[in-house]
């Protein structure tokens, strides 16, 4: 495994028009030339390529893919789980549902945490977007979207706005206001416009820009204030289902996964795809960066989750089991990155040991597909949204389960004794409607000290 | 029911919706189910069970299924196996013979396998007319066990209101079905009836049960013909087939153009180049730079600090059959970094390897150091071999190191880089 090299922008005279421009490598009948961008575009529709049929181009692409895999394999010296053998095994730990958030009238499709580690926004098939306080389970805001199937929602970093969208092909931003007299819907700002459903959205580091992914196969970066398209990302051959921004402060890349089984890493400034990975056997439903930003995980309909390392430029781990046959709908890492939480269409959540590749735990509790799963910003809890209905008079209420795994990396690893996280009070109440079941989780995980060496 | 013992209807082998994500799961479940029913390779025991006055044909107990799942899918926890069994049942591949609720229990409850005709992978989306025919048919069969459940009676009433005009037609269809059924063999009928009921339990589930036929709308688009006229379970064709209530507007699926593939080719070539660049860099790094090699000559410490230098030195010593000194020195360095619990063990190992009488890699120590060291070994601390190590260090420095610097191996390394550089310079 070695360092990553980036493509360098070479300036020089274009081999075709001879103007001084930023050059791109271009291949004409396996001869490498340097063209400037406009000439490269023109070349694509050049007469020279008329005799190349779609089939021959496809077979060329396939053979190149094979070559790329060969090149990638040359650096492959050891498997991740082999290196991880010298790592301490995780102890058994128990995660229990502490909160159940009920109130949606239909399937919950998406959710996001606020940076204050407390608030959650969730959207559902019935068109409602609700902001909850996860500690008290109170609903703080509710918006009804004009369309059903609100598949994407996101909390702004400042906590002052939410974005959502779905079958309306748009992404709308709602500023959150506590003023009872104000109608939230009135202040709605339509930011993104796609030609097909919106599958995912996320604010960048600020409230001012929003990144969206759509069923039309593209991702796009928008300016919230003006609604202007800043950058668009083309390259997926089918619907893009998910995206995640790189965690670094200067974050300039993001990864997207789509129905073409590809996960692609993009440079936000240039709009170019930097890396692509195509090892899944079916749609990629969810992608999430590893906390260090050097790797990402993906969950797919082929019932596997996979870990891709960006510097090694390859898939480094597959998380699968013979007994798991339903697709993974959403994945997220614990704060340290040692655990991977994955929600599946078989109503369960599997917790994987990222390094060793084994399953640590399986969580039951949902009564229908788990459609969305996010770990809170401080890593003390994760929340999962599902398609489940209940048997109550309240029609088709939905469950958002909040579990609290103890993952404070600042704490020193201790024995398997239950610990009170942040001294939260322990109250248990058996009623389900307004029930507040509070209590910290039973165990903490050791901080993995080896982590930095493994991804060198 | 149109299904005979010979399954005349096609089971959709050449399935156009193969790419649908649901299909992946269905195929996996079908694989499991097929294996489960396979007698020859350790499938579950499917038997006819005697009960009261009659026999129950072709059933298997829940426990058998759960056991089989645990054994064949390497599941350790029975809870997991029960959950998987329940899911397989909920999808409609296995069903309890005496319950509408499709779930799996780890006990003596009897289950039956669903007929391939009714498998969900055939993409059934049965119309309400079919359901009405079915419920009507049930009311005509006056067997106690085929009595309609409450929710079914409600559904029937609702459908009667909805299809008030068509009711005569539906009634006729139901009668025709009953006639066909009566002709069948009793046992076969029992089985088929239960399978038909299980089919409707999947597509018209008991209120409160999960409807497993619901699909993620994002994936619906890929069904190549969402507006196709749906096939009827009972072969009923009507002029006015209603469209699906959830009318997904069929957007043309983007076809990959030549342009797309050319872009892909450009991208792949760029990636391959990047990798080749990486590889050449990696290859270069395997050979130490000239600077580095020169540094080894500055002092003995320098060569010991550098991993590659140590390796070269070790190789040289091995050629001289005097590598035990360096290995001892390295072992003692390593000992200093060991966790406390391992120290005593390592001390013993080092003693045995290098110092004990008759040791395989005996090092040459003067008698004084040897005395001190053997005393220290009794205490077994991590600084047991300090004295010996210092002695060996001085020995290597004065003797082996000097020879190494003069050796061919080192000189070659020094000159090798020079050779390369000069070659490049010579080119015009």
Instruction: Report the pLDDT value the prediction gives residue B236, as an integer from 0 to 100.
Output: 75
Q: Are the Cβ atoms of B218 and A74 closer than 8 angstroms?
A: no
For residue B401, what is the DSSP state?
I
Instruction: Report the pLDDT value the prediction gives residue A364, as an integer from 0 to 100.
Output: 86
Q: What is the DSSP string of B321-389?
A: T-THHHHHHHHHHHHHTS-HHHHHHHHHHHIIIIISTT-TT-----HHHHHHHHHHHHH--TTTTHHHH
Which of B21, B29, B256 lies closest to A282 in CB terms? B21
3 state SS of A139:
strand
Instruction: Report the pLDDT value the prediction gives residue B21, as an integer from 0 to 100.
Output: 66
Instruction: Report the pLDDT value the prediction gives residue A272, as an integer from 0 to 100.
Output: 92
Q: Are the Cβ atoms of A323 and B73 closer than 8 angstroms?
A: yes
Q: Which residue has the tokens 């291949």?
A: A27
What does residue A79 show for φ and ψ, rounded to 5 degrees? -80, 150
Distances (CA, A) of B242 to A147, B163, B231: 24, 13, 12
| Residues A97, A430 contacting (CB under 8 angstroms) | no
The H or E element containing residue A290 is none
Q: Are the Cβ atoms of B272 and A7 closer than 8 angstroms?
A: no
Q: Give the model confidence (pLDDT) of A406-422 as tens digits.
A: 333 333 333 333 333 33
pLDDT for residue B311 is more than 50? yes
Which of B28, B210, B278 lies closest to A2 in CB terms? B278
Q: Which of A394-408, B149-163, B374-388 reaches the highest mean pLDDT?
A: B149-163
Chain B closest CA to A344's CA: distance in Å? 12
Chain A residues with CB under 8 Å of B269 CB are 25, 27, 64
| A77 touches B at CB < 8 Å | no
| A45 touches B at CB < 8 Å | yes
Weakest-pLDDT range from A188-192, A246-250, A346-350: A246-250
Interface test with A, best of B102, B218, B253 (most A CBs within 10 A): B218
Chain A closest CA to B152's CA: distance in Å? 18
pLDDT for residue B146 is more than 70? no
Instruction: Report the pLDDT value the prediction gives residue A254, as an integer from 0 to 100.
Output: 96
**What percent of chain A is modeled with pLDDT above 90?**
42
Whether the predicted model's global pTM rises above the 0.95 cut:
no
What does residue A355 show for φ and ψ, rounded to 5 degrees? -80, -45
Residues whose CB is less than 8 angstroms from the CB of residue A359 and which lie 6 or more positions away in sequence, other chains included: A319, A321, A350, A351, A352, A353
Interface test with A, best of B73, B253, B258, B284 (most A CBs within 10 A): B258
Q: Looking at B230-284, which runs of residues are DSSP E strands?
A: none
| Residues A316, A323 contacting (CB under 8 angstroms) | no
Instruction: Report the pLDDT value the prediction gives residue B286, as an integer from 0 to 100.
Output: 62
Angle at which helices A37-44 and B258-286 cross, to 10°: 130
Q: Give the model confidence (pLDDT) of A122-181 as tens digits.
A: 998 989 899 988 888 888 998 999 988 999 999 999 999 999 999 999 999 999 887 766
- Average pLDDT score, chain B: 82
| B255 touches A at CB < 8 Å | no
Instruction: Report the pLDDT value the prediction gives residue B5, as an integer from 0 to 100.
Output: 39
The average pLDDT across B245-257 equals: 56
Which of A72, A167, A323 lies closest to B74 in CB terms? A323
| B261 touches A at CB < 8 Å | yes
CA distance A276 to A64: 13
Q: Which of A328-337, B225-234, B237-246 reaches the highest mean pLDDT?
A: A328-337
CA distance A190 to A228: 10
What pLDDT band is residue A182 in, cutting at 50, 70 and 90?
low
Which of A217, A239, A391 lies closest to B218 in CB terms? A239
Q: Are the Cβ atoms of A27 and B265 closer than 8 angstroms?
A: yes
Instruction: Report the pLDDT value the prediction gives residue B104, as an integer from 0 to 100.
Output: 93
Chain A residues with CB under 8 Å of B206 CB are none
For residue A141, count other CB atoms closer than 10 A to its CB: 16
A207: region left, alpha or beta (phi > 0 left; psi from -120 to 50 alpha): alpha
Q: What is the ipTM of this complex?
A: 0.73
Instruction: Report the pLDDT value the prediction gives residue B253, as an integer from 0 to 100.
Output: 55
Weakest-pLDDT range from A119-123, A298-302, B284-288: B284-288
Q: Which residue has the tokens 């493509």?
A: A7
Instruction: Report the pLDDT value the prediction gives residue A82, as an integer from 0 to 100.
Output: 85
Chain B residues with CB under 8 Å of A278 CB are none
CA nearest to A234 within chain B: B260
Instruction: Give the neighbor-by-neighbor strand order of the sheet with A229-234.
Output: A198-203, A209-214, A218-223, A229-234
Chain A residues with CB under 8 Å of B256 CB are 54, 237
| A302 touches B at CB < 8 Å | yes
The average pLDDT across A369-386 equals: 87
Q: Are the Cβ atoms of B219 and A45 closer than 8 angstroms?
A: no
Give the closest residue to B259 by CA, choosing from A37, A237, A273. Answer: A237
According to DSSP, the residues that pair with A220 across neighbouring strands are A212, A232
CA distance B69 to B85: 8
What pLDDT band is residue B161 in, cutting at 50, 70 and 90?
very high
For residue A410, count other CB atoms closer than 10 A to its CB: 6
Q: Give the model confidence (pLDDT) of A290-309 as tens digits.
A: 999 999 999 999 999 999 99
Q: Give the model confidence (pLDDT) of A37-89 as tens digits.
A: 777 777 666 544 555 688 888 888 899 988 888 888 887 888 888 888 888 88
CA nearest to A366 within chain B: B210
Instruction: Report the pLDDT value the prediction gives residue A162, as an integer from 0 to 100.
Output: 94
The average pLDDT across B25-41 equals: 90
Chain B closest CA to A220's CA: distance in Å? 18
Residues whose CB is less than 8 angstroms from the CB of residue B53 and which lie 6 or more positions away in sequence, other chains included: none
The average pLDDT across B177-204 equals: 90
Chain B closest CA to A300's CA: distance in Å? 10
| A60 touches B at CB < 8 Å | yes
**What percent of chain B is modeled with pLDDT above 70?**
83
Q: Are the Cβ atoms of A237 and B278 closer than 8 angstroms?
A: no
Which of A58, A215, A303 lies closest to B218 in CB terms? A215
Q: How far is the first Cα of chain A from the last one, in angstroms, to the nearest whole number?
A: 7
CA nearest to B252 within chain A: A216
Chain A closest CA to B216's CA: distance in Å? 10
Distances (CA, A) of A355 to A322, A358, A359, A448, B373: 19, 8, 11, 10, 43
3 state SS of B8:
coil
- Average pLDDT score, chain A: 78
Chain B residues with CB under 8 Å of A364 CB are 79, 83
Q: What angle do CA A405, A411, A414 make, to 5 degrees?
A: 80
Q: Between these two residues, A212 and A366, which has the higher pLDDT value?
A: A212
| A158 touches B at CB < 8 Å | no
Q: Looking at A303-348, which runs of residues are DSSP E strands?
A: 305-309, 314-319, 328-333, 339-344
Q: Are the Cβ atoms of B29 and A325 closer than 8 angstroms?
A: yes
CA distance A49 to A62: 18
CA distance B171 to A287: 53
Chain A closest CA to B74's CA: distance in Å? 7
| Residues A93, A441 contacting (CB under 8 angstroms) | yes
| A309 touches B at CB < 8 Å | no
Q: Are the Cβ atoms of A346 and B83 closer than 8 angstroms?
A: yes
| B69 touches A at CB < 8 Å | yes
CA distance A370 to A344: 6
């Amino acid at each position: 495994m070695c360092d990553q090299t980036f493509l360098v922008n070479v300036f020089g005279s274009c081999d075709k028009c001879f103007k001084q421009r930023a050059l791109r490598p271009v291949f004409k009948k396996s001869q490498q030339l340097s063209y400037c961008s406009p000439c490269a575009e023109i070349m694509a529709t050049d007469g020279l390529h008329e005799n190349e049929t779609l089939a021959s181009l496809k077979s060329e692409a396939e053979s190149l893919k094979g070559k790329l895999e060969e090149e990638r394999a040359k650096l492959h010296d050891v498997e991740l789980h082999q290196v991880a053998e010298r790592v301490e095994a995780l102890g058994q730990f128990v995660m229990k549902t502490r909160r159940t958030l009920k109130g949606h009238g239909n399937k919950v499709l998406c959710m996001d945490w606020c940076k204050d580690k407390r608030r959650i926004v969730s959207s559902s098939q019935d068109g409602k977007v609700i902001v909850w306080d996860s500690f008290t389970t109170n609903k703080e805001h509710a918006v009804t979207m004009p369309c059903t199937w609100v598949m994407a929602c996101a909390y702004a970093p400042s906590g002052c706005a939410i974005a959502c969208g779905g079958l309306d092909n748009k992404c709308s931003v709602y500023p959150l206001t506590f003023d009872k007299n104000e109608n939230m819907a009135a202040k709605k700002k339509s930011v993104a416009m796609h030609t097909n459903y919106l599958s995912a959205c996320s604010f960048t580091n600020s409230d001012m820009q929003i990144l969206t992914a759509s069923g039309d196969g593209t991702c796009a970066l928008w300016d919230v204030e003006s609604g202007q398209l800043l950058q668009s990302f083309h390259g997926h051959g089918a619907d893009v289902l998910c995206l995640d921004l790189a965690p670094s402060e200067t974050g300039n890349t993001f990864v997207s996964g789509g129905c073409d089984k590809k996960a692609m890493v993009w440079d936000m400034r240039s709009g170019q795809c930097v890396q692509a990975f195509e090892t899944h056997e079916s749609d990629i439903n969810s992608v999430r960066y590893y906390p260090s930003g050097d790797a990402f995980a993906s969950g797919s309909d082929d019932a596997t989750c996979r870990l891709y390392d960006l510097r090694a430029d390859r898939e480094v781990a597959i998380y699968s089991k013979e007994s798991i046959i339903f697709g993974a709908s959403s994945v997220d890492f614990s704060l340290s990155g040692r655990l991977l939480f994955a929600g599946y269409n078989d109503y369960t959540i599997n917790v994987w040991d990222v390094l060793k590749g084994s399953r640590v735990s399986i969580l039951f509790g949902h009564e229908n597909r788990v459609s969305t799963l996010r770990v809170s910003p401080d890593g003390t809890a994760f929340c999962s949204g599902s398609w489940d209905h209940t048997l109550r008079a309240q029609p088709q209420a939905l469950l958002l389960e909040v579990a609290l795994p103890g993952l404070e990396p600042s704490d020193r690893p201790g024995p398997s004794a239950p610990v009170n996280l942040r001294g939260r009070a322990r109250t248990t109440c058996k009623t389900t409607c307004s029930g507040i079941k509070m209590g910290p989780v039973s165990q903490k995980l050791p901080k993995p000290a080896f982590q930095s060496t493994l991804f060198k | 029911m149109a299904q005979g013992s010979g399954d005349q209807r096609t089971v959709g082998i050449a399935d156009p919706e193969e790419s649908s994500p649901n299909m992946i799961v269905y195929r996996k479940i079908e694989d499991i189910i097929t294996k489960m029913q396979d007698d020859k390779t350790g499938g579950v025991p499917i038997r006819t069970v005697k009960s009261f006055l009659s026999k129950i044909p072709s059933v298997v107990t829940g426990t058998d299924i759960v056991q089989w799942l645990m054994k064949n899918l390497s599941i350790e926890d029975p809870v997991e196996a029960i959950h998987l069994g329940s899911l397989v049942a909920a999808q409609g591949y296995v069903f309890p013979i005496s319950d509408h609720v499709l779930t799996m229990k780890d006990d003596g409850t009897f289950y039956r396998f669903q007929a391939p005709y009714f498998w969900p992978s055939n993409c059934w989306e049965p119309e309400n007319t079919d359901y009405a025919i079915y419920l009507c048919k049930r009311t005509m069969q006056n067997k106690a066990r085929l009595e309609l459940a409450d929710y079914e009676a409600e559904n029937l009433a609702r459908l009667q209101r909805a299809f008030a005009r068509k009711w005569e037609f539906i009634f006729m269809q139901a009668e025709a079905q009953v006639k066909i059924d009566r002709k069948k063999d009793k046992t076969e009928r029992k089985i088929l009836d239960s399978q038909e009921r299980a089919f409707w339990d999947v597509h018209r589930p008991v209120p409160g049960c999960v409807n497993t036929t619901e699909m993620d709308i994002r994936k619906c688009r890929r069904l190549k013909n969402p507006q196709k006229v749906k096939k009827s379970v009972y072969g009923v064709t009507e002029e006015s087939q209603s469209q699906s209530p959830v009318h997904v507007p069929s957007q043309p699926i983007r076809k990959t153009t030549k342009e797309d593939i050319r872009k892909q080719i450009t991208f792949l070539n760029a990636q391959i180049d990047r990798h080749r660049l990486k590889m050449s860099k990696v290859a270069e790094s395997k050979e130490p730079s000239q600077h580095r090699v020169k540094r080894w000559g500055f002092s003995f410490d320098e060569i010991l600090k550098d991993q590659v230098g140590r390796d070269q030195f070790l190789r040289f010593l091995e050629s001289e059959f005097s590598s035990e000194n360096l290995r001892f020195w390295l072992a003692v360095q390593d000992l200093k970094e060991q966790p406390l619990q391992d120290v005593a063990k390592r001390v013993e190992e080092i003693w045995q390897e290098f110092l004990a009488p008759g040791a395989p890699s005996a090092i040459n120590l003067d008698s004084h150091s040897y005395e001190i060291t053997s005393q220290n070994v009794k205490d077994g601390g991590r600084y047991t071999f300090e004295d010996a190590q210092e002695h060996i260090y001085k020995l290597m420095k004065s003797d082996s190191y000097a020879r190494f610097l003069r050796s061919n191996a080192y000189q070659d390394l020094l000159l090798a880089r020079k050779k390369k550089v000069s070659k490049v310079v010579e080119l015009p």
